[in-house]
Structure 1
């Protein structure tokens, strides 16, 4: 009975521990995924998405508010700088221009040498001068009589007072004439300036092209309201295009003009085109937290259109002969696990999405284990 129990107990132990033994045996027989560093080329780049834009592309706006009377262009039209694009019915500027013309004509008449206003003032000067001459002669005559003791002192005083009054009146008439003449000249000059400004405002009714190029879009129709905030059209170069790329703020400090760009586009699938960075906008877009970077194609494709989407890799550094290791074998703290189970710290050089460059820590003969 005791032997039977012992057998049962022994058998129960075997049954209880056998699963762990099976797992251990299978773990020992499982093959680990390993690799060795290999020589190869690597390119470190910054990803950017963007769109194609025509050179000098801009959105056309009106300088005045009003109803669109005429659209002189349609999509696809070729234009030159200064060509009219749209005519806006801005009645306020038209009225202001006519008012300025009437005011200028009125002031030109009043400021002319034979104007009624100045003629009347000159007549006042003439009368004052004649009165002064007469009173001056009478005063001088009375002075001579007084020296001969002829006449009374009261007569002399009356003549002197008349002379003094006439002289003051003459000087006042001269001053009034000069002041009115100068004021009218100033008002005339201001009226001419007002007319020029009103004509400029009236000229703003005609929206003109700033560039030689192509009309890519017209977004308003005759009879609709044009405002200074509403886009009327999109114009740009007919032949020259650029890439407007968006680079994350994390990477922008690594971007500079002159860097090579590898570009792919949905419109040209399977093709990789080269471009070069020409401009880095120093102001970040606060909403997207990105910077605008411009690049131009070294060999542009045969046909391009504004707003075509593009993806780009801006080349930061590249090396043709480097010791490379798949990035998934390297831990977040830049270490690798050896076949022995030990971990080794690496000095990492260039990186791309798949590979890293090993500067030191292991060599081409080192076997590393996938963590």
Structure 2
């Protein structure tokens, strides 16, 4: 990656002409920076997704519109939703009728219980009468046992029919609850065809148009903050170790040729992007910020260090990583130096040279 392509607002750096015969180290203020490129993006960005299958019936927004939380954005027409909702509504109404006071199902069972209760009462009276007759030797034991069996049969039938009535009433109650749940779920699914915004923001992109077939989880639009933006930068792998939260960033956008924006590093992501061998670094603007346009291309210098009055030489005079050619008594020799901070133009010299040294072009 290139470094120092932006003129830093806090320092004006100058180098020496390669055509000069030689130069001496001089004391200057040196700003060390790492070059990064990237874009400007809105905060609270999210993709608007469809929650149901259907056909896009209405698009109620356009790119650039401001939207409010819960504002209706899209309306889908469910492919089978209408029929499903009608079916669940019919089942729910029928379940309510089956458990009502006028329920024909319960009325029939209640009538059977009353009939069994009447039969039990008659057989009970008859059994008591035959029992008295038997005690008076006015009837045979066989007749008493026949009447007793009829009474026991009536009692068991009454108990069974009463239990059947209660079981049916309980089952009808369960059926009503199930049908109500299905009806509510159907209504919620119908609500899923009404797509609303989760945040206050701005519409940056719309991906579907009315008439298109929509599947669940298809992206319909892109929404983000309409005023709060940040810088997403790609920093070369070789410079990543120099990144720290809070570092000052100088940002230049092509769309604003005469402006330089300031920002500070907010977050450093630890995952390497193997496509371009870079790491992601996010920075927040300080003071003036660009308008909320999505993906504006920017170049930036991330300030690594500010070095006041340090001994420097033009970077173009450095040979390899840490050597320069110097002139002594008319002779030219190679000298190793100890480098400090550096930028696109200058290198700090911590050792190997002094103010009187004459550094010559490497030819």
* Coarse TM-score class (shorter-chain normalised): 0.7 to 0.9
Q: Hey, what's the Cα distance between the residues in 2 that align with 1:251 and 1:93?
A: 56
Q: Hey, what's the Cα distance between the residues in 1 that align with 2:241 and 2:132?
A: 101
- Give 1:370 deviation, angstroms: 5.1
The answer to whether residue 347 in structure 2 is matched with residue 356 in structure 1 is yes
Aligned to 1:344: 336
Q: Hey, what's the Cα distance between the residues in 2 that align with 1:125 and 1:171?
A: 8
Q: Which runs of 5+ in 2 are unaligned?
A: 1-18
| Equivalent runs, 1:279-298 vs 2, <5 Å | 279-281=267-269, 285=273, 287-298=275-286
- Give 1:302 deviation, angstroms: 6.2
Q: Hey, what's the Cα distance between the residues in 2 that align with 1:154 and 1:249?
A: 107
Q: Is the 8 A contact 1:338 1:344 kept in 2?
A: no
- Give deviations 1:150-173, integer Å, cap 9, x for gaps: 544433433443343333323322
Aligned to 2:6: none
Q: Is the 8 A contact 1:285 1:291 kept in 2?
A: yes
The answer to whether residue 176 in structure 2 is matched with residue 188 in structure 1 is yes
Aligned to 1:268: 256
Greater Rg over alpha carbons, structure? 1
In structure 2, the CA distance between the partners of 1:231 and 1:152, relative to structure 1 (3 Å rule), is: same
Q: Hey, what's the Cα distance between the residues in 1 that align with 2:271 and 2:155?
A: 73
Aligned to 1:107: 95
Aligned to 1:73: 61
The answer to whether residue 28 in structure 2 is matched with residue 37 in structure 1 is no
Q: Hey, what's the Cα distance between the residues in 2 that align with 1:345 and 1:87?
A: 70
Aligned CA RMSD, in angstroms, stands at 3.3
Q: Hey, what's the Cα distance between the residues in 2 that align with 1:258 and 1:49?
A: 18
Aligned to 1:86: 74
Q: Which runs of 5+ in 1 are unaligned?
A: 1-30
Which segment is superposed worse, 47-56 or 150-159?
150-159
Q: Hey, what's the Cα distance between the residues in 2 that align with 1:253 and 1:172?
A: 83
Instruction: Give the alignment's TM-score, normalised by structure 1.
Output: 0.77
Q: Is the 8 A contact 2:227 2:291 kept in 1?
A: no
